Amino acid sequence: MSRPVPTPSEPTSPDSTQHCCGRRYDSMDETTRRNRILDAACTAICQHGYHAASMDNVATYSGMSKKTLYHFYPSKRTLFEAVILERLFSRIVFMPDPKDTLEEQLLKLTLQSAEALLNPEKINLLRSVIAESGRNPEITERITQLFEVSKANFPIQDWIETQVKQGTLKIPNVHDAADQLFGSAIGGTLLAHLCTCKRPRTGKDLEDFIRSSIKVFITAHISPP
């Protein structure tokens, strides 16, 4: 769950005097500081867009000095890249239970991925990133590169590749198969959230839909006995 981030209306001061939960920022460890900066950067990007968002905004929302920001992130670009890789597409850790069937393993993994992607904060951030990518070719190219790198944070393809190596699934192109599964199980719901073109599936409706997509996927690729 994301940590609360100060709103623009909240008074802030340099991190040498600002307090959080009864503690001075200068007593916070580096991981806590870094997380707070990323929270603030997410807020700045969602409210202003990447180009309009500034390190001044991030300093205000985090209650830290710009000197502290540049200590952790030497440029706005490196901070933006960290937001994409660590917040928008944060790593999903999945440990399959060998007692589960293939369908049960893949269902748990896909539900975990859906939960990670479809929360409102990430949807808002993704909208802002998509809007920015349409305005600036350089940003578009960099976002494409980051999206490619971020695939390593989603273990669906790794899980499929493991099953292929073990001979339980027969799939000629693991990369394409992972894209197809993601598109059929989560992609439509993600699109509905992003463009509000229709009411997105939630709760049990989403789980049943994902379960159905997985059943079709496993049936199509299961290796013959």
Average pLDDT for residues 192-199, to the nearest whole number? 84
Contacts of residue 180, defined as CB under 8 A and 6 or more positions apart, other chains included, come to 217
Contact 10, 20 (CB under 8 A): no
DSSP run (H or E) holding 196: none
Maximum average pLDDT range among 3-17, 23-37, 101-115, 194-208: 101-115
pLDDT digits (tens, 9 = 90+) for 50-69: 888 999 999 999 999 999 99
Domains and CATH numbers, the chain: 19-87 (1.10.10.60), 95-221 (1.10.357.10)
What six digits make up the tokens of 42?
């997410």
How does the average pLDDT of the chain come out, rounded? 83
Residue 1 pLDDT > 60? no
d(C-alpha 92, C-alpha 105), whole Å: 14
Q: In the chain, pLDDT over 90 holds for what percent of residues?
A: 52
Handedness of CA 9, 10, 11, 15 (dihedral sign): negative
pLDDT band at 27 (very low <50, low <70, confident <90, very high): low
DSSP run (H or E) holding 24: strand 23-24
Average pLDDT for residues 138-167, to the nearest whole number? 82
Q: Where are the alpha helices (DSSP H) in the chain?
A: 30-48, 55-62, 66-72, 76-82, 102-117, 120-133, 137-150, 156-166, 174-182, 188-195, 203-221
Residue 2 pLDDT > 50? no
Q: Locate tokens 């060998």: which residue?
A: 98
Q: In the chain, pLDDT over 70 holds for what percent of residues?
A: 84
